[in-house]
């Protein structure tokens, strides 16, 4: 699954695409992650489920575009709450990944 591979690259750790993680968003493995890593992974998996519910056959590009939209909305929310450092903890790995691969 390309989304899980992307998160392995983003978080610089190996993530096994096990069904419990994909379906429930959690597994024994996620308990070893930092809170900010779990949050980003959770955002990504929830976004994937959202994309999969659309009529069109979901693509990796659709998911990535939705993640970018989510990132922008989350940035506004975090900044309005004066939580810039928390935003960076959660989202900076994805931003760096996107900058490297654009």
pLDDT 10s per residue in the chain (102 long)? 788 899 999 999 999 888 888 888 888 888 899 999 999 999 999 998 888 877 777 788 999 999 999 999 999 999 999 999 999 999 999 999 999 987
pLDDT at 65: 93
Query: And the tokens for 77?
Result: 């929310």
- What pTM did the predictor assign? 0.85
Any idea which residue has 């989350």 for tokens? 74
Distance from first CA to last CA of the chain, Å, rounded?
A: 20
- To the nearest 10°, the Cα dihedral for 56, 58, 75, 77? 60
- CA-CA-CA-CA torsion sign (84, 45, 94, 59): negative
d(CA 102, CA 61): 13
């Amino acid at each position: 699954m390309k989304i899980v591979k992307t998160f392995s690259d983003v978080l610089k750790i190996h993530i096994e695409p096990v069904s419990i993680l994909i379906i429930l968003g959690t597994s024994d493995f996620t308990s070893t992650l930092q809170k900010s890593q779990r949050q980003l992974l959770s955002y990504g998996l929830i976004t994937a489920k959202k994309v999969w519910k659309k009529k069109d056959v979901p693509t990796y590009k659709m998911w990535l575009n939705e993640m970018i939209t989510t990132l922008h909305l989350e940035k506004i929310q975090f900044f309005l709450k004066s939580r810039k450092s928390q935003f960076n903890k959660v989202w900076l790995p994805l931003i760096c990944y996107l900058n490297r691969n654009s």
